[in-house]
Structure 1
Amino acid sequence: MVISIQHVTYAFEQDAPPVFTNLNLDIKQGEFVSIIGRSGTGKSTIFKLMTGLLTPDEGQILMDNRQIAPGDVGFMPQKDLLLPWRTILENVMIAAEIQNNAMLTKEQAIVWLERVGLKDYVHAYPKELSGGMRQRAAFLRALLTGKEVLLLDEPFGALDTFTKKEMQTWLLSMWQQLKKTVLFITHDLEEAILLSDRIIILHQDKSIEEITVNLPRPRMNEMSYSETGIALRRMLERKISSEMD
């Protein structure tokens, strides 16, 4: 296992109800795993624990059989957080600057920008890019940290339907080429089905449920509307809608 969450309990305050109680979850190398659930079930909290922004009250999170540490994973939030005063090239170079990584040159970063379809925007500023282009740049910035595990927190949530579908296809293509391990938070059930090997449902009673997505790869958007895709969506809707907010 690349990531192993073992018996984790966490509450935001000492006397507050825990967000998780005895949470256990394993992620295999090269998997694409989506996390879904109603608001307040702790989806983003898992990521904050994995990035070291929060510390478990009990239990441990292991990566490659050792305690996970800040900087072990790449992280991409819902908002792209590109610095408006820096060009796209300068934004994607931030991780290399912070880590003092001389192995990543500007020339190499430009090659990557060309690879993700941003060849003509290397020296543009974020305000000059569309939402989908900004998200590609933000993904590339996370990718160029060199981390094998990427945490993507609703990266396409703010995009319109057509742009989102384009980005889903693009992300699948990148993931299949690079063989990274991806954890992906989403509220979009079709998105979870299209992208994932497994879907983790966080329930309001603190339990979790794992659903295997039995769709062949490579994936195409049309698969969400196949008999298997529709059945999966109905099952997920039923499991989530049965819980009251």
Structure 2
Amino acid sequence: MTTPEDQPSAPQPPASEPADRVHRSSAGIAGGVLLLGLAGWLGIDAIVAGEGRTPWLALAALILVVPLTVAFTLRPAVYVGQDRLRVRNPFRVIVLPWGQVAALRSGYSNEVVARSGKKYQLWAVPVSLRARKSAARREARAAAERSTPREPRDGRGSRGSRGGFGGLGGFGGSSGPVSEGPVRSATDRAMDEMRALRESREKEESAQGDVTVRWAWEILGPAVAGAVVLGILLAVG
């Protein structure tokens, strides 16, 4: 008689890989939606109410403008996976296994450098100098708070004779713990995470391969067609 322990166990399903983390520009998406709404409103109005060549010019302009607006605002994204980095830029899609990534650089723009020496800009992770300055100011304040000695508290939780507000935390000191790590902007934190993942995964066998680049013909095709039609209409007069 067989016992449950003697029976072969059912095969376990393979562990699923964690989903890619996606980085996109929220400001770019918001701007793209507004621009598409404005272009659609003006273009459709010209097509419906225009006379003569105006509807055709408006249609050709829409065919040109809409793909370009999508390309530079809604399309850019960076997909960060365990084995590779997939960069979706306005006109190209670049897939770089971590073993082929030489560096991730941040300056006036964020870019990934392949071991071949080629550089690819990360359109979806733009550099904000204003956000960097704001993060630097917060870091300076946090450093000043960490270096300032705290006054001893008595047994009731007040700051001695100068606290003045008992255990309510008062208005004369910090009301919460001070951050111990450096303050970074959102895009700089994203780059730090990608650098850490690259360092931990670049030697893995599954993170090896070739860099692939694919042109976004779904964007280039309509834009070129719209530009050609618009040029012909303007040339004919």
User: Which TM class, normalised by the smaller chain length?
Assistant: under 0.3
Between Structure 1 and Structure 2, the one with more strand by share is 1
Q: TM-score, length-normalised on structure 2?
A: 0.23
Q: TM-score, length-normalised on structure 1?
A: 0.22
Between Structure 1 and Structure 2, the one with more helix by share is 2
